[in-house]
A and B are shown apart, each in its own frame.
Chain A
Amino acid sequence: MRVARSAMVLTMLFIGFLIQSAWLSLLNFPVVIPPLVVVVAAAFCLRREPLNAALIGFSAGIILDFFPPSTTPLGVSSVSLVLIFFFVNQVRPLIEGSLILPVVAVALVPSAYLFLNTLTRILLSQQTLSITELLADFVMLSLYGLILATFVLPVTQWLDRLFAPRNAISVSRIR
């Protein structure tokens, strides 16, 4: 079941990537393309252990960098997402039980990803910094993140329950 769960997460990330690259990118959204892959990954990471969360971030980063139309060197997105998801997972106990805080946490992940990704790219001399553009991207990414998180979180929760390990269910039943 752990393998099925991991496969499900990877499949969902890949589907998210396909929707993002083949559909959302063509919808002419203002400023940036809605970051569906990052939001899906963040939604899953909130329900995982820290190491698994970092692994999800790593996988999402590889998908984002590896497949076209990306021209970013492989690993750039992974570095950012691994760090962000590990950190988000550390604050998980603080947001657990709330209905709104997980949505806000997931919504802020794309902006944090943009910040770290931009830093990494600057370090690699792959990008010049434009503060105004960056600010506009931050605002729009947070907005898109908020909208996407509202829909993505319930779906990921339902999928996680569907693919939950048997012993986890039995433990919860005993409790």
Chain B
Amino acid sequence: MRRRQFTPSPLVGLLALLLTSLLLIAADGIVKLGILQNLRAQSVNVVTPFQELTFSVTSPIADFLTDISELGSKNEQIQRLENENSRLREKLLSIEDIQRRLSDMSSLLDISARGEFRILGARTLSIGSEAGYGSSIVIDAGSLDGIKPSMVVISGAGVVGRIVTVSPTSSVVMLLCDVKSQVGARLESSGEVGVISGYGLNQPLEYRLLNPKGELTKGTKLLTYGVENGVFNPGLPIGYIESVRNIPGTSSKVARVRAYVDFTKLDYVGVIVKRPRSDPRDSLLPTLAPTPTVTITVTATPSPTPSKSGGN
């Protein structure tokens, strides 16, 4: 005898399921049956470990896909940050530039005040070979500003050169390092007189004493030796002796001089438009700041040695 299997009609089944669903809605959503609420609360504990496991397995893929989906926006963000970075860099450079200029002008004012001469401030427009003068600069001051040929140009550090050509709004300055430049200079200590010659923009200057038996010592400072109605004012700092060598076949010596002015980095300069009444002597020479001496004291610290007894 075959047992008859109960198979409800699909429509009845559908209605039963719909009714069950509606009852569940009523119980959970409207009546808020306690048992269902508790079950739902407990379901968090059941499903969370599975969700955590799924998350830990799939999160690397999720991260990868998220990175891909955000590639465009990340590129935009990188671009924005790069722009901001370059803007800030420019700002920083301009601040550094302003600080450098301020320092240039401050030292220029300082030297002119100490030397008691009147200067006319000017900016360097170009550095290099100009109008056949080898090492020269062009400044933005000319005859309209009262500039005349042979006027001396200085920076905060010392002598720069002299005016050789003047136009209404600009002037050409032959630098001290120019190959044609020859300037009378005296030694700081002995007052011995000699001639400073230039050898090009990036080359040190050369100093020869007029007295061949004069002494040249490394580190000695040099100043301009001005004569009345001469081009250069007396007492303007030039540089210091870097090294001394003998001229072969003679008893004379020649000194290699490092100029105080960096001729390749000239910006603000001053043209001496009125000379001082008196010679400033050595008062314009830069004073070197004392170099701090670092003293390291080593104190021996006894290392803890464990006692064999293990006590104390």
Q: Residues on A close to B: CB < 8 A?
A: 14, 18-19, 21-23, 26-28, 49-51, 54-55, 57-58, 61-62, 66-68, 73-76, 78-79, 82-83, 86, 120, 124, 126
Contact = CB atoms under 8 A, between A and B. Distances in A.
A78 B40 contact: no
Contact of B10 (A28, A62, A67, A86): A86
Contact of A23 (B25, B39, B44, B62): B62
Given A19-B58, A67-B47, A82-B17, A75 B25 contact: yes
A51 B43 contact: no
30 contacts: A18-B50, A19-B58, A21-B51, A22-B51, A23-B58, A23-B59, A26-B66, A51-B14, A54-B14, A54-B17, A55-B17, A57-B17, A58-B20, A58-B21, A73-B29, A73-B30, A74-B28, A74-B40, A75-B22, A75-B24, A76-B21, A76-B29, A78-B20, A79-B18, A79-B21, A79-B25, A82-B18, A83-B14, A83-B18, A120-B25
- Residue in B29, B39, B62 whose Cβ sees the most chain A Cβ within 10 Å: B29
B139 to A, nearest CB: 62
Contacts of A28: 66, 69-70
B21 A22 contact: no
A164 to B, nearest CB: 19
Contacts of A120: 25
A126 B70 CA distance: 34
A86 B55 contact: no
B65 A27 contact: yes
Contacts of B14: 50-51, 54, 82-83, 86
A58 B17 contact: yes
A113 to B, nearest CB: 14
B65 A73 contact: no
Given A51-B10, A78-B21, A86-B14, A68 B43 contact: yes
Given A49-B10, A74-B29, A86-B14, A19 B54 contact: yes
Interface of B: 8, 10, 13-14, 17-18, 20-25, 27-30, 36, 39-40, 43-44, 46-48, 50-52, 54-55, 58-59, 61-62, 65-66, 69-70
B67 to A, nearest CB: 11
A55 B10 CA distance: 11
A82 B43 contact: no
Nearest to A55: B17
Contacts of A74: 24-25, 27-29, 36, 40
B39 to A, nearest CB: 8
B44 A73 contact: no
A75 B20 CA distance: 8
A66 B66 CA distance: 29
Contacts of A124: 25, 29
A20 to B, nearest CB: 10
Contacts of A18: 47, 50-51, 54
